A and B are shown apart, each in its own frame.
Chain A
Amino acid sequence: QLQLQESGPGLVKPSETLSLTCTVSGGSVSRSGYNWNWIRQPPGKGLEWIGATYYHGGTDYAPSLKSRVTISIDTSNNQFSLKMNSMTAADTAVYFCARRLVTQPNHYFDYWGQGTLVTVSS
């Protein structure tokens, strides 16, 4: 059974850079046909896709966050990571990592991490 686990600081200061890692167990991030995603959810609000990385290192980003986000993959440690700079209070959210099937014609998130709350505050 595939499992994903987010890790990183729960508190980030305004203007600083957030760094989160998602560790995958029970499967390989090197498997083709999938990409590896970050999604966030502000408290009491809906889901927002941040972006994704592929086993070959390619990336896709949400246009609204593209200038601030870097997603990378570490196949040797079976992990992928998120870096988001210039954090503000509006970035306070639960951050989820998730696997997405991307083989045509079906694209969907099939496995999610439990999520980690990141609060931006001085």
Chain B
Amino acid sequence: QSVLTQPPSASGTPGQGVTISCSGGGSNIGINTVNWYQQLPGTAPKLIIFANNQRPSGVPDRFSGSKSGTSVSLAISGLQSEDEADYYCATWDASLNDLVFGGGTKLTVL
């Protein structure tokens, strides 16, 4: 059971938008910034959002992040087939003294 809770799956059709949530608590998301990673099948994770809402260079602006209290969200607009991947949120938990990942959300582009 992950400290950060994500829905196991999400889906959308090409061109649509989708939002993936990540819920935590006061010792993790509540006091630390959150990063999002995209993992395409058979590959290593890739950073797509850091510090809650910042995009690394090269990441399309279709990807955006937001934070409210102890939850964060990843929004993907204009879905493309290549967005089909697993998405993970991650942050530091000050109570556990541990770097924690969400359980991951498998995004399917129908």
List, in ascending order, chain A residues with CB within 8 A of B51's CB.
Answer: 105-106, 108
With known contacts A112-B45, A113-B44, A114-B44, A49–B33 Cβ distance under 8 A: no
| Docked-complex contact B50 and A62, CB < 8 angstroms | no
Q: How many residues of A contact B (CB 8 A)?
A: 19
Q: Could you say which of A46, A106, A108, A110 contacts B101, with CB atoms under 8 Å apart?
A: A46
Q: Could you say which of A46, A64, A107, A114 contacts B92, with CB atoms under 8 Å apart?
A: A107
| Docked-complex contact B99 and A105, CB < 8 angstroms | no
Q: Is A54 an interface residue (CB 8 A)?
A: no
Nearest Cβ distance between residue A30 and chain B, in whole angstroms? 22
B88-103 vs A: 1/0 string, CB under 8 Å? Answer: 1010100011111111
| Docked-complex contact A112 and B97, CB < 8 angstroms | no
Task: Give the A-B contact count at a CB cut-off of 8 A.
Answer: 54
Q: Is B104 an interface residue (CB 8 A)?
A: yes
| Docked-complex contact A46 and B35, CB < 8 angstroms | no
Give chain B's interface secondary structure class: strand
| Docked-complex contact B104 and A63, CB < 8 angstroms | no
A64→B2 CA distance, assembly (Å): 13
Q: Is A47 an interface residue (CB 8 A)?
A: yes
With known contacts A46-B88, A46-B103, A114-B44, A109–B35 Cβ distance under 8 A: yes
B53-68 vs A: 1/0 string, CB under 8 Å? Answer: 0101000000000000
| Docked-complex contact A46 and B104, CB < 8 angstroms | yes
Q: Is B47 an interface residue (CB 8 A)?
A: yes
A91→B110 CA distance, assembly (Å): 34
A2-18 vs B: 1/0 string, CB under 8 Å? Answer: 00000000000000000
User: Which of B's residues lie within 8 Å of A, judged by CB?
Assistant: 2, 33, 35, 37, 43-47, 50-51, 54, 56, 88, 90, 92, 96-104
6 interchain residue pairs of minimum CB distance: A112-B44, A49-B99, A108-B50, A108-B35, A47-B101, A46-B104
